[in-house]
Amino acid sequence: MQVTGGRIRPNVGDPSVLYYLDDLTVGQRFVSPTHELDAAQIKAYAAQFDPQPFHLDEDAARGTFFGGLAASGWHVASITMKLLVAGGAPIAGGVIGGGGEIAWPKPTRPGDVLHVESEVLEIAPSRSKPNRGMVTVRSETLNQKGEIVQVITIKLVVFRRPEGAIAEHAP
């Protein structure tokens, strides 16, 4: 959903509401759907990409820095991307990131229900490519207790509405 000036308008899962550069404003906020994480998902991701004891096995995790099974930070980043694509960042042309900052202030645990809240921080039209701009978005990934488990501040490539295109978003 989009939160604007205290009003909440749902846009989750509505593929007809997609934002071009022209539609975005600094301070605009988007909220993603949710994702429920379990131990099996944590271990499956870890086996493929981050096979360390604290991501693979409850018993082995107990004596580590994490004090129990925790998701790989890159798994949390991957789920965050899934939630952004699923409605958390409804950008026409897709969610295309060039880079940014990432932090994991708290571990993500089995049973956590995650969602992403994003805010447009900056909009910079491209000088050399008039059909696009760079939009800086801060996306917080929160668990069911409202605790922030990840923060990313990412620069996205966002396109202007093509001339003659039917508006996909009615502001």
User: What token pair was written down for 151?
Assistant: 């923060």
> Which of 6, 15, 99, 130 touches its own copies (CB under 8 A)?
99
Confirm if 27 and 120 have CB atoms less than 8 A apart.
Answer: yes
Between 65 and 171, CB nearer to its own copies: 65
90 in helix, strand or coil?
Answer: coil
Binder among 95, 121, 123, 134 for its own copies (CB under 8 A):
95
Interacting residue with its own copies among 33, 73, 110, 125 (CB under 8 A)? 73
Which residues neighbour 139 within 8 Å (Cβ) at sequence distance 6 or greater?
80, 84, 88, 89, 116, 117, 118, 151, 152, 153, 154
Residue 146 CB, shortest distance to its own copies, in Å, is 20
125 near its own copies (CB under 8 A) = no
Distance separating alpha carbons of residues 43 and 57, to the nearest angstrom:
7
Residue whose CB is less far from its own copies, 98 or 171: 98
Residues 29-58 contacting its own copies, CB under 8 A:
45, 48-54
Residues that bind its own copies (CB under 8 A): 45, 48-54, 64-65, 72-75, 77-79, 81-82, 85, 93-104, 151, 157
